Chains A and B, each alone.
Chain A
Amino acid sequence: MPIYKSDTNGSARARSGSIALGVFVLSLITLYLPDALQDEVASLLRGSLLRPFVLTQEGLVRRSIHAEDTDVLQRRLDSLEVVIANSNTLSEENARLRRLLDMSRRNPAQYVAAIVIRSGTPGSESMFMLDVGTRRGVTRDSPVMMGRGLLGVVRDAQANRATAMDWTHPQFRASAMTVDGSIYGMVRAAPGRFREADRLLLNGVPFRQELAPGVALVTSGLGGVYPRGIPIGEVIEESGFQEGWQRSYWLRPFVAPGEATHVNVLVSEGGEYRDANSWLEGGPLVPGPVAVPQEPAPATSGTEARTRR
């Protein structure tokens, strides 16, 4: 027989009701807490009670990355060597031309490598955690990139952890432009009917300017969050949304958030020096015909010549 217990004491019931009401009010207050306080509570929980679970996923992701097929990694390494070898001349030319034009040396971009940890809990669909934080130079608004383009941006950074959102988040925004800088617009997430159908929408393109399908868009650097030139996506087609004398276009992002396990975070200082080329100077970054080297070195035959696309 199931045990049935009930409060028969009226005062106990009233006390319980008062507690329930108090907790309910507290839950309402939690909804409207200031952002800073919400972040503090969340990071406290992540760093204490939930830490073992986070560390477990971190370990598992690290193992899965290490277990990646060495043949694939070798091909990528060979391809990168080809790209670097071919861009050496360009770098020298660039440096010489800058000297001739009396331009100062460009500061190299700095990145820290990070592992992506997804919580998989309700309400965190477009959010992920990184295993690096302020000690490695990661701050709020640090851009997060995968090999082929922009994945998202850091929202909150602690000492050894950071929380970021990817481009599918409804609040994601990035100022974008074509690679030649002739057309500008604002990119935002456009949720699909299902998560797999999420894509990006480019707004604010002047009506007199048109974009052909396949045209690549990169960050414009306006707004100060994303540096100029990070690949975002390519135009699929013009969308039906028109606001005044402006056009908007559907974009196919270069990066799928579901594939993200290992990313690079662009940091302003304190990061490891990993690449001397900034995004637009390091050779072709977006899909285009100039990506394949003219004369591949014999040692790299059979490898895939990749570029960031």
Chain B
Amino acid sequence: MRTPTRIWSVFGFLILLHFGLHLSLGLGEGAPDLLVVALLIGAKEVDIGRGAGIGFFLGLLDDAFSVLAFGANTFALTLVGLGGARTRDLFVGDSLLFLTSYLVLGKWIRDLLHWVAVGEGLRESFVDTMLIQSPISAAYAGLIGVVVIAISGLGWETVR
């Protein structure tokens, strides 16, 4: 059953898991970007103002460790939160294909926005970052996101 309590519990759990894997265990790239998965799940439930606000807050948390690129994650996740909230006005579909595309594309756009915002001095080449590394991590995050949604029973019937 897809209840608000369940959705926000999964949202909170994913955030805790993200920082647990990345920060506490120091897994880095080995762990999926669960922050963007949580944001995309949460943003579908709120209006664009709240979506942007949630993205802003999560981005600030992610930026707490990037001293010289501070604000890049905040900028990226704010726009992803805003866009995620906007999708519910644009798409009614809830199929597995839509859901996977939503998560994968959301993660890829998040990386693209981060790449743009991080500045010329710090960014790596577009081809390496956006066409090689990012699609892999987007697919990874999308896969994990779909599994989490299916296991947690958030109500996407087609997934379960």
Q: A residues bordering B, Cβ < 8 Å?
A: 1-7, 12-13, 15-20, 23-24, 26-28, 30-33, 38-39, 41-42, 45-46, 49-50, 53-54, 56-57, 60-61, 117-124, 127, 129, 155-156, 163, 165, 169-171, 191, 193-194
Contacts and interface: CB of A to CB of B under 8 A. Distances in A.
17 contacts: A4-B88, A5-B45, A7-B47, A17-B49, A18-B49, A19-B52, A30-B75, A31-B75, A31-B117, A33-B70, A53-B24, A119-B26, A120-B22, A122-B66, A123-B73, A127-B65, A127-B68
A31 B52 contact: no
B20 to A, nearest CB: 7
A156 B70 CA distance: 13
Contacts of A45: 60-61, 64
Contacts of B118: 123
A24 B56 CA distance: 8
B22 A119 contact: yes
Given A2-B156, A6-B89, A17-B49, A121 B67 contact: no
Interface in B6-31: 19-29, 31
A106 B38 CA distance: 57
A18 B118 CA distance: 26
Nearest to A47: B64
Interface of B: 2, 19-29, 31, 33, 45, 47-53, 55-56, 59-75, 78-79, 82, 85, 88-89, 92, 94, 111, 114, 117-118, 121-122, 124, 128, 155-157
B122 A170 contact: yes
B52 A20 contact: yes
Given A50-B64, A60-B25, A124-B67, 14 more contacts: A2-B156, A3-B2, A19-B50, A20-B49, A23-B53, A23-B55, A26-B78, A27-B74, A45-B60, A50-B23, A57-B24, A117-B26, A123-B114, A171-B122
A121 B74 CA distance: 13
B49 A4 contact: no
Contacts of A49: 61
B9 to A, nearest CB: 16
Nearest to B119: A31
A30 B74 contact: yes
A50 B2 CA distance: 29
B50 A42 contact: no
Residue from A19, A30, A49, A60 with most neighbouring chain B CB atoms (10 Å):
A30
Contacts of B22: 119-121
A124 B66 contact: yes
Contacts of B20: 53, 56
Contacts of B156: 2
Nearest to A164: B67
A16 B47 contact: yes
A121 B23 contact: yes
A7 B121 CA distance: 42
A17 B92 contact: no
A38 B56 CA distance: 15
Nearest to B92: A4
Contacts of A54: 23
A123 B47 contact: no
B70 A28 contact: no
B25 A30 contact: no
B26 A118 contact: yes
